[in-house]
Amino acid sequence: MDFAWSDDELTLQKSIIQFAREELNQDLIARDLKQEFSWDGWKRCAAFGIQGLPVAQEYGGGGADILTTVCALEALGFGCRDNGLIFSINAHMWSSEIPFQSFGNAQQKQRYLPKLVSGEFVGVHAMTEPSSGSDAFALRSRAERKSDGYVINGTKTFITNAPIADVVIVFATVDPAKGPAGITAFIVDKGTPGFTISKKLDKMGLRTSPMAELVFEDCEVPAENVLGREGLGQAIFTASMEWERICILASHLGMMRRLLETSLQYATDRQQFGQPIGQFPAIASKIAEMDIRLETARLILYKAGWLKKQGKHPLREAAIAKTYVSEACIQSCLDAIQIHGGYGYMTDYQIERELRDSIASKIYSGTSEIQKMILAGFHGL
């Protein structure tokens, strides 16, 4: 086993950290308060090549494998404090770019992927509905066949990037009698009649990442806007989730490293009772536990990425990674706040925001409870 990054990957890490620190953290406290998405940061990341990391070079992407992508996103999470921007980039990559690259035909790939890679287009997918969250395939959205296409009706909620989306991959059922086998993915462009961005949603964390409901009312799309083929929606969604559950938490490794280094520095500098607080066993223990969680999270996530790179389908390992990394990150945020005491609770120290941003990781891309159900299924339960 080789646990080392290559020289090229280490160089990429260093360049991303420097780029992120210098160009992505401006006015973050104010932007979080105003729930303001950073278009400037989005464009800078696209120009650097972040959005195009996993996309083939023929469409303007970096052609990176999944482990190199994890390496890059970990670095981005370390250097960039704007977790909302990172979350929007992840949603864009895994819910639109990967489906287009994996299931799109030549015309669809050429039409959308270059613009998604360049940041000109923002892509999303629309699966979650008011009545179907964890039970993802219990959709009420319907797509009725017409001679020259389909008519979509339904409402989608908790859709990241919805207010700024240029193209949506929307999942709807063509034949309810077939259950999940009747779900189909449709490409819907901004401005299509019958497609509207409805209620903007306010959130506890990830406030710089916009979210809204989408409504489809007699929304007509041509037959060529089917992604893959009719009835392939379940496979498209599952494939994108495999990528997402591995990669979306790579930035959390970077956040956990940042929290550890920040807490260690504070524990060294902060004096109480005539000595640095890091010399007290209660504080030293928290630092050690943060280190253990970070190292364990890395190994779990890297293994899932390695298996995917080998052509495997690491559903089990991705579920383990999603569960462990999300919960470990939250605990490290709590420890960082406790180490900083009252200062950790203050907005100016920017640690309380890390906690708010991290909590959603136990919910999106399948809750921790759903991941544990997946794991139990591997044991016949």
Q: Which of 198, 231, 264 is the last residue of a domain?
A: 231
**Residues 208, 273 within the same domain:** no
Dihedral pair phi/psi, residue 5, rounded to 5°: -75, 150
What local confidence, expressed as pLDDT, does residue 242 receive? 85
In a domain, 16, yes or no: yes
- Decide if 244 is catalytic: yes
Report the DSSP beta bridge partners of residue 212: 159, 200
pLDDT at 138 over 80: no
What would the pLDDT profile of 305-328 be if each residue is shown by its tens digit?
A: 999 999 998 999 999 999 999 999
**Residues 33, 107 within the same domain:** yes
**Top-confidence residue, 152 or 132:** 152
**Residues 292, 261 within the same domain:** yes
Contacts of 147 by beta carbon, 8 Å cutoff, 6+ apart: none
What local confidence, expressed as pLDDT, does residue 134 receive? 60
The SS3 call for residue 187 is strand
| CA 221/CA 229 separation, integer angstroms | 14
Q: How far is CA 259 from CA 270, 289, 300, in A?
A: 16, 12, 19
Percent of the chain with pLDDT over 90: 90
What local confidence, expressed as pLDDT, does residue 2 receive? 80
Q: Which of 169, 202, 231 is the last residue of a domain?
A: 231
Residue 164: other Cβ atoms inside 10 A = 18
Nearest Cα residue to 32 out of 219, 205, 160: 205
Q: Which of 242, 244, 352, 354 is catalytic?
A: 244
**Residues 80, 170 within the same domain:** no
Query: How many domains is the chain built from?
Result: 3
Burial tier of 36 (Cβ tally within 10 Å: 0-12, 13-18, 19+): middle
What local confidence, expressed as pLDDT, does residue 214 receive? 97
pLDDT band, residue 275 (cuts 50/70/90): very high
**Residues 272, 373 within the same domain:** yes
Q: Name the DSSP letter for residue 11.
A: H
| CA 189/CA 116 separation, integer angstroms | 13
Residue 270: other Cβ atoms inside 10 A = 16
Contact 186, 174 (CB under 8 A): no
Report the DSSP beta bridge partners of residue 123: 167
Buried b / exposed e along 166-194 (16+ C-beta atoms within 10 A): bbbbbbbbbeeeeebbbbbbbbbeeebee
Mean pLDDT of the residues in the chain = 95
Dihedral pair phi/psi, residue 116, rounded to 5°: -70, -40
With residue 107 as reference, give the H or E element that holds it.
Answer: helix 106-118
In a domain, 147, yes or no: yes
Nearest Cα residue to 263 out of 255, 273, 272: 255
What would the pLDDT profile of 86-122 be if each residue is shown by its tens digit?
A: 999 999 999 999 999 999 999 999 999 999 999 999 9
With residue 145 as reference, give the H or E element that holds it.
Answer: strand 142-146
What would the pLDDT profile of 179-226 be if each residue is shown by its tens digit?
A: 889 999 999 999 999 999 988 999 999 999 999 999 999 999 999 999
| CA 124/CA 98 separation, integer angstroms | 11
pLDDT at 136 over 70: no
pLDDT band, residue 3 (cuts 50/70/90): confident
130-134, 259-263, 279-283: lowest mean pLDDT where? 130-134
**Residues 34, 143 within the same domain:** no
What's the CA angle centered on 9, arms 5 and 15, to 5 degrees?
135
pTM for the complete prediction? 0.95
Mean pLDDT of 83-87: 98
**Residues 254, 283 within the same domain:** yes
Percent of the chain with pLDDT over 70: 98
Dig out the tokens for 249 from the structure.
Answer: 């938490």
113: domain range? 7-122
The interaxial angle of helices 250-269 and 83-92, nearest 10 deg, is: 170
Q: Name the DSSP letter for residue 174.
A: S
**Residues 209, 284 within the same domain:** no
* C-alpha dihedral (192, 193, 194, 198), degrees to nearest 10: 60
**Residues 372, 259 within the same domain:** yes
In a domain, 194, yes or no: yes
The CATH number that applies at residue 39 is 1.10.540.10
| DSSP output for 250-300 | HHHHHHHHHHHHHHHHHHHH-EETTEEGGGSHHHHHHHHHHHHHHHHHHHH
What local confidence, expressed as pLDDT, does residue 4 receive? 87
